[in-house]
Amino acid sequence: MRRYLFVESRDPFETTDGQKWLQTIRQAKTEGMEVSVYLTQNGVLPARRRAVFDGGLKTLAADGVKIYADSFSLRERAINEVADGIEVTGMVQFLKMILEPDVKTVWH
């Protein structure tokens, strides 16, 4: 089985291609691939527990996509609580994920 790690580093309000990005992730999951999303830098902004616009994260989590948020990026943006379905991890965990030999990493 193919495994993909999609890395989101941008706030959904920074770019107009957010819906296409979300669609690509959902399509990979629908096609039976193991899919994870790692939020870093401004990509963690929609992960806030009370975010009005979540950039599609709730939909992805409901589809069974594993979502991770970078702890350093959260601290830098004073985000103390993340939405349900999002796991807070550090850079060591991220490095382990991208160095797994069967994982394809796609960065946005």
> How does pLDDT run across 9-49, given as a tens digit for each residue?
988 777 777 778 888 999 999 898 999 999 999 999 999 98
pLDDT at 50: 85
Alpha carbon distance 29, 27 (integer Å): 5
User: What is the structure's pLDDT at 1?
Assistant: 66
* Tokens at 28, concatenated: 């990979």
pTM of the model: 0.91
**Ramachandran assignment for 55, one of left (phi > 0), alpha (psi -120 to 50 degrees), beta (any other):** left
CB 40 within 8 A of CB 6: no
- Domains of the chain, start order: 3-101 (3.40.1260.10)
